[in-house]
Amino acid sequence: MKKCLLLFTLLGALLFTSCHKDAPASPDFTFTMWNPCESITALKEYVADVTNPNSKNFIAEEDRIVTFDMDGTFVGELYPSYFEYNMLEYRVLDDASYRDKAPEDVKQAARNIRDFVRNGKKLPDHFDMIHARAAATAYAGMSLAEFDAYVKAYASKNANGFSGMTYGESFYKPMLEIFDYLTAKGFTFYVVSGSDRFICRALVEPLGIDPKHVIGMDVRLKSSSQGTEAGVNYTLGKEEDIIRTDELIIKNLKTNKVLQIIQEIGKVPVLSFGNSGGDSAMHNYCLSNELKSAAFMLIADDEERDHANREKALALGTQWREAGYHVISMRDDFKTIYGYGVQKTPFVFE
């Protein structure tokens, strides 16, 4: 009889352990900066399904990979252009330590940005590549530590078009809640941006995002004493710095985002977040996953709290829905964008 009681006790303990293991790993998450909306409902329903061990769509934690674009997805880009565009304009046209050294093609790229943000003049075709090459040249010779400090110094400036916020503080606060929510549910996220990888790392550092989870535009690096000798033939010394060169390796947009995800993550994402056509390839790659997946596009449709074009944004929203993406409306879904102490102001150009 004692042996039977012991056996039943052990079986009961095993059953309890099994049930406890299958229970949700974290309590319900409260979204404090979102209005009730279709986008958050869709995300919560998706997460509830794929994290339920009894669901046919259950996804193991090691496969819960999420990719996030940066500019315009969780970092502001309407002040009045991308952070890295604004910083290049400053570097080439205003920074006394560099402006007289800039080659003519780099100066022209900076003038293109200035004409765009101040006068609304359209940027030249394929300007993403023009900018990338100009930026590679403009920061060549900087050590990684010097470049990181340069980015952070520029990020500390007041964001043009807003009061109560620096460039480095211009996070979409509701989107940061999604980071917290997905992390609590066992997802691992990566920042996959068209901006320079080391700019992205500097900007997201306050969020505690691991640098190895940041993918972006890349330039070739070399040792400070390497000269023209190939790295395969050169041995780094203990006291050397790593510096940026003027050689662009990749502009991480569109299909290049997919290729970099394959190279650096090695798994197909199950969730993808973006805000523009440059993210569509990444979204489509996510939606090709054999596991249940979903993609979200944010539209900048809030003309009162941000420098947005609502008509254009709504047209994009229709386009994204037709492509099979969920749409996040900044105007309708966000209780706040940058935080309650931030106000939209007219742009000021000196």
Does residue 104 lie within any of the structural domains? yes
Tally the domains of the chain: 2
What is residue 180's three-state secondary structure? Answer: helix
In a domain, 100, yes or no: yes
Same domain, residue pair 151 and 74: no
By residue range, what is the domain housing residue 271?
29-78+164-216+248-342
Could you tell me if 188 and 66 lie in one domain?
yes
State which H helix or E strand residue 242 sits in: strand 242-250
pLDDT of 27 reads: 58
Provide the residue-wise pLDDT of the chain in tens; the chain has 350 residues.
Answer: 434 433 334 334 333 333 333 334 445 789 999 999 999 999 999 999 999 999 999 999 999 999 999 999 999 999 999 999 999 999 999 999 999 999 999 999 999 999 999 999 999 999 999 999 999 999 999 999 999 999 999 999 999 999 999 999 999 999 999 999 999 999 999 999 999 999 999 999 999 999 999 999 999 999 999 988 898 989 999 999 999 999 999 999 999 999 999 999 999 999 999 999 999 999 999 999 999 999 999 999 999 999 999 999 999 999 999 999 999 999 999 999 999 999 999 999 97
Distance from C-alpha of 278 to C-alpha of 252, rounded to nearest angstrom: 9
**Dihedral angle at the C-alpha atoms of 138, 141, 147, 149, nearest 10 degrees?**
-120
Q: Is the pTM of this model over 0.85?
A: yes
What's residue 120's pLDDT?
92
The answer to whether the Cα torsion of 31, 37, 40, 42 is positive or negative is: positive
Q: Same domain, yes or no, for 157 and 170?
A: no
CB 69 within 8 A of CB 282: yes
* Cβ atoms of residues 191 and 264 within 8 Å: no
Q: Is the residue at 177 inside a domain?
A: yes
Residue 66: its H or E element = strand 65-68
How far, CA to CA in Å, does 298 sit from each of 3, 246, 303?
Answer: 62, 33, 14
User: Which of 132, 162, 192 lies at the terminal end of a domain, its last residue?
Assistant: 162
Residue 119 per-residue DSSP state: H
